[in-house]
Structure 1
């Protein structure tokens, strides 16, 4: 049935009477739900027909089911038409046919860097989920990929959704206001100037239903260790917030001081619940004990200096969040006049909340804070302050609180803008390299111990 459906769509879209929109997506080997989230929204400049290339199997079926769910959503249905090619030669077939001009990648990270390099070598733009690379060997290929993309005049970019979280946006905005924040401190190894911590869960809900993880997601050789996966977002935010608009040189500006990693144990029953696979695959046996409990090296911590500023990022993976909770984020930026803190615990009802905690206590400073908030509120209407024992809670209107899934539309829109206007900031590529240098060097350092 799928083959017949594909043939019909192919015949329709091939008709010269139908003008193609300038952006045509190719979804390659989708194995992570982020590939589908790119299509949770429609975009005016993107053709509704998406060509999908993958092996036959559960990863592909789950991806197509999510797209179908978006197409049939009661509140905001999309209108995507998926043209599917299934076969072991899917990658070569995609490169040969070039049915689109933007390759969307979100899946097995062991293969992703090769997909990226060969796609840009073939003159295709690439929009890739994090991480684009999971080890030092891959980092060398990624450098080559960026050089090739520049030479071939194609756009290679990763999906940094966390830049679109409103508390992070405002934390960055306030840190750029000297009257309120002062200047970013240098910090120390014991008390870094910037700390970002993230807690994630294997068992979670996505788009209203329980997420089925592929079995390979628990294999760090395929997914990557936690220290090179979720930390990609955290390292990106350190760079984006602490050094806005600054071009980083990873050979000079990044110094790793320490890194560590540790496992989360997934029981056999949890594995079956999570993946819908009853038998633990052979490739996971090297992480398993006699009971088939799997030790997943998904937790990590990186301590480093970036342009002389002490930074710390860490990620923790638990199996399942307690009822009423979910993934959480903690962040602090230490200024000479105030600390800017994002908390997401029980006190905040597990919703990210931004606080201004001053080191200066006088009427003149309080007045400067009020003026700064009024200035910020000109762009972010309705932002205000609520006094507390430590300073102020930043009150943010619900209109700005989109949620993680909606952030995929925001970052996709930004990518499409860069693609159409050729206006990606000059710092983006060197800073992507700095980011992946940090994570892959940390992974190397952690594995030495």
Structure 2
């Protein structure tokens, strides 16, 4: 059996497992067993045991449950409400007015949660009723929330960047730094779209509230101080090299508990709920990563990634053509799988091809997250769409339609970082140099 046919066969086996309702982690491990049994002479049980043991005590991976716990704590506190009240007075005069609170609120919360779904739930719970009551159009409320919540995947500390870094053995700190400028770029694109829509159709946006004095604005902005302290404490510790991502995550948990308690809205019950929810999510991701690690090792024994990379190299595809093909592939895959699953499913096979054509793995990590962000707002498995549907009860297709312009803005961001790779690589190169 030729290598491309072998690859298609194993892919078909994976989809059969997934279509049968098998957990993603078990499906990945099942494909690994099939690959080792049919296409290698390696002892399946021994390879599985050593892989699971070797990948279950990664120090880099310990940042993951800590950042998840930090997001869960913030989700249950009133800090997001304070953040909305602090931003609103400063944005009321911009084209699009309070819709920018969705964009900037998601960007700020993304910088302390690392999760797209948590960002959508936290900001949406507070902004949707507020914006509806003021007469803002439903499509723009839902679209800005669904699109901007994807920033939780990119703006550090990003959970999916930790997963990518562990899966590909790249520096998580460098990935975090690389995600900063593209994150700001997306905030600019989303805010620009809102402004253009407001300019084109001024009747869409309600009239501004009564003007506030500078003193009143500054007083309302006091609610931003706790969140700013958390961002500076966590992200600043990583960027300055004072702490590793894992150390910074531990600091973030302590600061988030302190701020949530001081806000007066965080009880012992909330803390236990946050712990339980973070444990569930962390175990799910860790289980998927173990299955993916086993598959990656199995692929190594079969020689399939190496041979496929050589085969693609012989085809003479330019990096640009390869990226176009991969973008289409990831968009299709994202229709059926969540972002973390897409990353762990594909990295073991895709990375040799990417390295073969000379693409920087740090740059590719940011590119991959941007493409995966699109899957968060595309049915049938768009996590952000499900979160917003749960908050509003609105049909998921209506939410997807509202989020469609932001899908194309994410695609534009992919084009921009491809044309100007320095947007991704400049900061990590500068800080390591």
TM-score using structure 1 length: 0.29
- Greater relative contact order (Cα 8 A, min sep 6): structure 1 or 2? 2
**Which structure has greater strand proportion?**
1
**Which structure has greater helix proportion?**
2
TM-score using structure 2 length: 0.30
